[in-house]
Structures are given as structure tokens and as C-alpha cells.
Amino acid sequence: MSVVWTQVALAGLWGGLVALERKAFLQAMLSRPLVAATVMGAILDDVASGLAIGMLLELFFLGTANLGAALPENDTLAATGTSAAAATLSAATGSGSTPAIWALAVLLFIGLGRVGRKGDRLLEGYTARLARVALASAEAGNLTRAMRQNLWGMWPHFGVYGALTALCALLGFFIEPLLQALPPVVVRGLAWAWPAMASVAAAIAAQGSHARRAPLYAGLGAALVTASVVSVLLLEAR
């Protein structure tokens, strides 16, 4: 196993940038799981892993919103961390990305959404204090100082979530020996778990639409996604 530190650094850089975009800068939807994970895959030369994981997590987290004090799970961290780990794991195996790798990465790193929510709560206290100080500086006529204090409130998001994403990319390299040690039947099980995950994500997305026939749409969406993914897997196995 050889760690490619350039990939770890690039993963951390992108993870930090989309964390800033999500909370404090631009907010052009680059931090949505589909975009964040796909770009992560492109940066780490594994677009397939990024796109596959991005689509699944976009469906899984679809409809989440920040309503008052009720913070949702941090879907951006879940997307960047999971896709970074999948890409470096694929690179470490040398055999390219596979549904088994995607499923394993999702199982291991999907909990990053809750980790990010706790991080958001901790960072909100810090940024709120700086915002009050910056407002006082602006009211006193010191606009340069107020701007500088606002910028300082943004950087912790970059540092914390960038470091967490880089850690996930690093862990991908260390997971590779564990994947190689798994029996073939377990690896095949992980590959077939991927369409099951996709169907569950599709059902959650449809259910979250709150449409009059949401359960029906959820079932149809799950069935369609399952049939599509299984068909692709069967074609690849031939």
C-alpha cells in the first residue's frame, strides 16, 4: 500500500472549499452531494466513484433543509468524505472503481452526516460571536476590521471540514488491505448491496416529496432504480 499524499491534500482542499460554499460563501449549490462528490471524483481521477456516490447521496439527503435551530445532517461532508475514501480505495486496489467499493465506502462513511451536524453546532457558536463583534465594529465605523472579522468566521469551516475530508481520503488507502482480505462471497455481497442502497435512496427521495401518492412513487422509484442497476451489473458480468 502506498499513500498518494497529493490526493489526500486535494481531497482536503475541495472538502474545505465546498464547506465554505455551503455555509458562508457563494452558495451556488456546489455543496450538494451530487456536485461535491462528482467533482471530488474528477479531482482524484475517479469520476465513476464520485458520480455513483453523489447520485445515491443526493437522493438520500434530498429535501433536507436548515429550519431554525433544527440543523440537518451535513450532506456535504458525507458526500466529500465518502467519495474521497472510495476514490483512494479504488486507486489503492489498482483494479478501478466497483459497486463493491462504493457500497463499502457508503457503509463506512455515511455517518459523516451526523458528525458534520455536530461540527456545525460547535462552529455556529464561534461564528455567532464573531458576527456580533463584526457588527459592533461596523457600527463604530471600522468597516475594514468588520470585514476581517467576518472572514475569520469563515475559515474554521474550511479547516475543520477540509481536515476531515483529507482524513477520509487517507483512510481509503488503509482500508484497501481489509478489502483484499474479505472472502469473495462477501465482496459479491457488497456489489449486490449497491442496487439495494440505490433503491432505498430513491424511495426516501420520493417519500420526502410529500406528494399525495408518495408511497406509490417511492415504491415505483425503488423498483425502477433496482431494475436498472441490476441490469447494468448483469451486463458487466457477461
Residue among 74, 1, 7 nearest 40 (CA): 7
How many domains does the structure of the chain reveal?
1
pLDDT, tens digit (0-9, with 9 covering 90-100), for 142-167? 666 656 656 666 778 889 999 999 99
Q: pLDDT tens across 27-50, in order? A: 678 889 999 999 999 999 999 999
The answer to whether residue 213 is domain-embedded is no
In whole angstroms, give the CA distance from residue 22 to residue 28.
Answer: 8
- The domain containing residue 15 runs over which residues? 1-191
Amino acid at 195: P
Q: Is 210 part of a structural domain of the chain? A: no
In a domain, 86, yes or no: yes
Place of cell 457600527: 139
What's the pTM value of the predicted model, to 2 decimals? 0.80
Q: Is the pLDDT of residue 80 over 90?
A: yes
> Cα–Cα distance between 58 and 41 in angstroms, integer?
15
CB 196 within 8 A of CB 226: yes
Q: Is residue 222 part of a domain?
A: no
Q: Looking at the domain assignment, is residue 199 inside a domain?
A: no
Q: How far apart are CA 76 and CA 73, in angstroms?
A: 9
Domain contains 58: yes
